[in-house]
Amino acid sequence: MHTSLLRIAVLAFIAALAGSAYADQGQEEGQKMFGKYCSACHGMSATGRGPAAEAMDPRPADLTRIAARRGGEFPEAKILAIIDGREPVRAHGAKQMPVWGEIFRGEMDGAAGEATARGTAWLIIRYLKTVQVPAE
Ligand code: HEC
């Protein structure tokens, strides 16, 4: 009886460790993806000052202030839609933001492509959540 309880506790502990290792890995992966796909415009620090930003109008958004701009709330689903292109960044005007949903799916069609595109966008969103600054 006691041994099985102990075993459960040990297993839970191992699962928790594995879970946090996975979360760290996810964040690192998200940061890598961000560097690859987003930093040219939004900057490596996500503040909107990438090498291509100078020449752009409108300027790339400061992505450390996604939540600050929205009263401290980070609307994951909406940001996902902005990234994959289902929701335009602005109601009017030229769309400077690439439609990542198309790019992330690579050569894959249908559901597999959709899942891959979502997975990449989620990794980036999880990373962006870790770099949010508080509202002033
Ligand atoms: C070619 C330049 C460019 C690249 C590359 C780019 N963006 Fe953007 N992004 C912009 C511009 C410009 C805006 C602001 C558009 C506006 O204000 O109308 C923007 C806005 C955004 C917004 C809206 C912010 C808000 O608070 O509403 C999000 C989110 C975003 N980008 C995420 C990303 C992510 C994630 C990537 C990488 C996968 C990325 N962008 C890559 C140019 C770019």
- Euclidean distance between CA atoms 49 and 19, whole angstroms: 34
**Which ligand 1 atom is the nearest neighbour of the CA of 65?**
26
Ligand 1 binding site (Cβ under 6 Å of any ligand atom) = 37-38, 40-42, 52, 56, 58, 60-61, 63, 66, 69, 79, 82-83, 89-90, 96-98, 100, 124
pLDDT of residue 131: 96
Pair 97, 130: CB distance under 8 Å: no
pTM of the entire predicted model: 0.84
pLDDT of residue 21: 64
pLDDT of residue 19: 66
- Per-residue pLDDT averaged across 123-135, rounded? 95
Write the residue with the smallest CA distance to atom 21 of ligand 1. Answer: 61
Domain residue spans of the chain: 27-130
- Euclidean distance between CA atoms 60 and 42, whole angstroms: 6
Ligand 1 centre distance from Cα of residue 45 (Å): 13
Residue 95 pLDDT > 80: no
Pair 88, 95: CB distance under 8 Å: yes
Residues 6+ apart with CB under 8 A from 90: 58
More confident residue, 89 or 51: 51
Residue 123, H or E segment = helix 110-130
Pair 27, 126: CB distance under 8 Å: yes
pLDDT of residue 36: 95
CATH code linked to domain 27-130? 1.10.760
Residue 70 pLDDT > 80: yes
